[in-house]
Structure 1
Amino acid sequence: MFLLSKDLVFPPVHLANEDGMLAIGGDLSSERLLLAYKSGIFPWFSDGEPIVWYSPNPRMVLYPEKLKVSKSMKQLIRKNKFQITFNQNFKEVITNCKIIARKNQPGTWITNEMQEAYIKLHQKGIAKSVEVWQQNEEDVSKKELVGGLYGIDLGTIFCGESMFSKVSNTSKLAFIYLTQKLKSKNYKLIDCQVYNSHLASLGAEEIERDQFLTYL
């Protein structure tokens, strides 16, 4: 485990332990976060803990052309019940990810400090969001944010961070629309970080870290 100083530098990722834990400390400045993602590293820690940096092996990724859309999701898309937008309300998306994760997992990694750091990255055009809206049943002139996701856009790779659903399958819907958009722009892959059965059902797979780094 490496202790980071104020210098903008990370140790080589192959020095991470078997859990992918690489270093501790440093800060969440935009410059350090961008360097981390470009190096195959991301922060993951809980309230009251020091900042911990990870680079797991294997790495969970989704190649856009390998996206799997189930029959039920195709039916949901055809119903056209939801409106999908990009980068229209990043702050509300990350806030919902934080609140819903806290309900399910006390001590969630989306701390206040993390939230502020990613909002700054969004303001710099680096962190992006996808929003899923549903018409308000009581007032049809209003729309409610019912699902979404956010992550880091590196140009040809999108690093997914977190997603949420207030209505069943809306996080999947956000992910499907994001993947289709990235495919149309010839993105190489979506970084999903570590294994997740939810994302595996959409076509995500594990690859060796060294292979992932070649894409970076």
Structure 2
Amino acid sequence: MNYAFGQVIEGCASDREEGTWITRGVVEAYHRLHELGHAHSIEVWREDELVGGMYGVAQGTLFCGESMFSRMENASKTALLVFCEEFIGHGGKLIDCQVLNDHTASLGACEIPRRDYLNYLNQMRLGRLPNNFWVPRCLFSPQE
């Protein structure tokens, strides 16, 4: 986690059939958020090769996932699964995947009414994760 933010956002911004909303300006803005400690990346590595990942913005005990990519089958799903376990296990309350579609629903996403979401947001922005939660580190290794 947080080892290769630039590579992850570039992977998410790479050409896709459906296009991308991640323009150069967006990349620069998220790099700044990362430098300020608000945007974070979760990487999936196969030896020394980045094969998938996701990035998003944290606010208290809320994490808003922005985008994910895979260069290997299920790599982005692995990033989300491992991150979910770590995030919730350390006091995280909600991961906002923004769009409910077949893919996000298959990963456990569900819709939350706007009023409820705004209430959650007000509560969660005040919450705190452990001080060292976002330091670059390995969340899982199959060799462990």
Q: Same fold (TM over 0.5)?
A: yes
Structure 2 partner of 1:126 = 38
Structure 1 stretches (4+) deviating beyond 4 angstroms?
Answer: none
Contact 1:131 1:174 in 2 (8 A): yes
Cα drift, residue 173 of structure 1:
0.0
Query: Which whole-Å CA distance do the structure 1 matches of 2:89 and 2:17 have between them?
Result: 34
Cα drift, residue 103 of structure 1:
2.5
Structure 1 partner of 2:139 = none
Measured against aligned partners, the alpha-carbon deviations of 1:72-101 in whole angstroms (never above 9, x if no partner) come to xxxxxxxxxxxxxx00010000001000xx
**TM-score, length-normalised on structure 1?**
0.55
Structure 2 partner of 1:96 = 11
**Aligned pairs (5 A) from 1:30-45:** none
Measured against aligned partners, the alpha-carbon deviations of 1:117-161 in whole angstroms (never above 9, x if no partner) come to 0010000000000000002xxxxxxx1000000000112000000
Higher strand share: 1
Find the residue that maps to 1:103 and give its secondary structure: coil
Structure 2 partner of 1:212 = 117
Structure 2 partner of 1:110 = 22
Query: Which whole-Å CA distance do the structure 2 matches of 1:197 and 1:189 have between them?
Result: 19
Pairing partner for 2:2 from 87, 90, 94: 87
1:173 pairs with 2:78? yes
Query: Which whole-Å CA distance do the structure 2 matches of 1:165 and 1:202 have between them?
Result: 15
Amino acid at match of 1:169: N
Number of aligned residues: 121
Computing the radius of gyration from Cα coordinates, the structure with the larger value is 1
Query: Which whole-Å CA distance do the structure 2 matches of 1:183 and 1:89 have between them?
Result: 22
Structure 1 partner of 2:101 = 196
1:146 pairs with 2:51? yes
Query: Which whole-Å CA distance do the structure 1 matches of 2:28 and 2:36 have between them?
Result: 13
Measured against aligned partners, the alpha-carbon deviations of 1:27-46 in whole angstroms (never above 9, x if no partner) come to xxxxxxxxxxxxxxxxxxxx
Query: Which whole-Å CA distance do the structure 1 matches of 2:99 and 2:68 have between them?
Result: 14
Measured against aligned partners, the alpha-carbon deviations of 1:40-60 in whole angstroms (never above 9, x if no partner) come to xxxxxxxxxxxxxxxxxxxxx
Contact 1:188 1:215 in 2 (8 A): no
Amino acid at match of 2:13: K
Gaps of 5+ in 2: 122-144
Measured against aligned partners, the alpha-carbon deviations of 1:11-39 in whole angstroms (never above 9, x if no partner) come to xxxxxxxxxxxxxxxxxxxxxxxxxxxxx
Structure 2 partner of 1:57 = none
Identity between Structure 1 and Structure 2 (%):
50
Contact 1:132 1:147 in 2 (8 A): yes
**TM-score, length-normalised on structure 2?**
0.81
